[in-house]
Structure 1
Amino acid sequence: MMTSEKLLKQIDFIKEIDKLKYIQRRTKLFNSDRCENNAEHSWHLALMAIVLAEHADESVDLLKVIKMVLIHDIVEIDAGDTFIYDNEKAHSNTEEERLAAKRIFGMLPEQQAEELISIWEEFEAGATREAQFAKAMDRLEPLLQNSSNNGGTWNEPGVNYDKVYAKKSVIKDGSPVLWEYAESLIDDGVKRGILKKS
């Protein structure tokens, strides 16, 4: 049996993305001292999207949302994870991440590479309803984690109510219902003393 070049490219990509399991995030698992890795984070977002899709602001293409949340952090294999509250490096699409997207997704056969790069760019731009809902999942999960971990990354230097509120407010673009719930968690964090007002 002769293995096709297409299949070999797909297998090489699958092996490469295993590295996502080694990228540690700052947020910790629910009620835990262990940091999650990017693969765990992406898996969790995919299930959240399935379970919470009914709360999207508008009807969404759920398969596209799932693709977005599963691939959105793959670029961090090359670019590394940027802490959302980092004061030095903006948590936004950088040239470094674009190069990573081209290299990693470029390992795939051309048509698949183009599709995944396009989906990744759509997520980063955050303009479509699918991207907005996917971003809502991406911002909600660590909020739930920090709430369960006595503040978690909210205890990092320089993180306060204003920063958390500003970073999490994109949730409302994807789901006003989930934003209302998120706001209540943020306010509860202040009441519990695990999130500081400036």
Structure 2
Amino acid sequence: MENLDTLLQQMAFIHEVDKLKYITRKTRLFNSDRHENDAEHSWHLMVMALVLAQHANEPVDILKVLKMLLIHDLVEIDAGDTFLFDTVLNHTNTETERKAAERIFRLLPEAQAGEFIDVWEEFEAGQTPEARYAQAVDRLEPILQNISNGGGTWKEHSIPYEKVIQKTQHIQNGSAALWDFAKALIDRTAEAGILRKEPTEM
């Protein structure tokens, strides 16, 4: 069979990324006690990105955005899910994630592996319109989840309002409209006493 080696490499990658379905995230499904897995998260982000694309600050190549959202969490097969509000680990591109990207994407034929790594790195850098918009959607989903669950992980881990704002405000880099919407939801949650505010110093 022509291109059998290529096909076998692609099949190995397809089998490997099935493991994403087993990576449990800290956030829960909307109005639910069940934690979502990374595959569900990636699917939901892609739907959101398609539906909300008109709200991006700049015109974007939506296919590239979808590629980013489809593959950006594959590194968690090796690295695991890092809670956005973790006080010990940074929710940023760690050396562990970079090694995971190399291992997982290198299962593919060389040209495809290079393309996937480039897309992953572009998302992580957050410097292009597509990456900024993709990151905005990635930060928006857990806000919606936590609010639907009466505070969700914010309440469970006693995350203050100020830290939620700090960790999510760069949504505005990809979409000012989505940030305005998200901040209004966060503010209402704080006003309702679900999300606590740190006392201000006199």
Q: TM-score, normalised by structure 1?
A: 0.98
Q: Is residue 171 of structure 1 aligned with residue 171 of structure 2?
A: yes
What is the CA distance between 1:17 and its match in structure 2? Answer: 0.3
Q: Is residue 5 of structure 1 aligned with residue 5 of structure 2?
A: yes
Within 5 Å, which residues of 2 pair with 1:1-198? 1=1, 4-198=4-198
Give the aligned residue type for 2:111: Q
Q: What CA RMSD, in Å, does the superposition of the two structures yield over aligned residues?
A: 1.0
Give the aligned residue type for 1:17: V
What is the CA distance between 1:3 and its match in structure 2? Answer: 6.4
* Secondary structure at the counterpart of residue 83 of structure 1: coil
CA deviation vs aligned residue, 1:143-173 (integer Å, no higher than 9, x gap): 0001100000111334110110011101100
CA deviation vs aligned residue, 1:55-96 (integer Å, no higher than 9, x gap): 000000000000001111000000111000000111100010
Q: Distance in 2 between matches of 1:196 and 1:163?
A: 10
Q: Distance in 1 between matches of 2:2 and 2:114?
A: 26
* Secondary structure at the counterpart of residue 92 of structure 1: coil
Q: Distance in 2 between matches of 1:62 and 1:70?
A: 12
Structure 2 gaps, min length 5: none
Runs of 4+ in 1 over 6 A off after TM superposition: none
Q: TM-score, normalised by structure 2?
A: 0.96
Structure 1 gaps, min length 5: none
Q: Distance in 2 between matches of 1:194 and 1:134?
A: 28
* Secondary structure at the counterpart of residue 103 of structure 1: helix
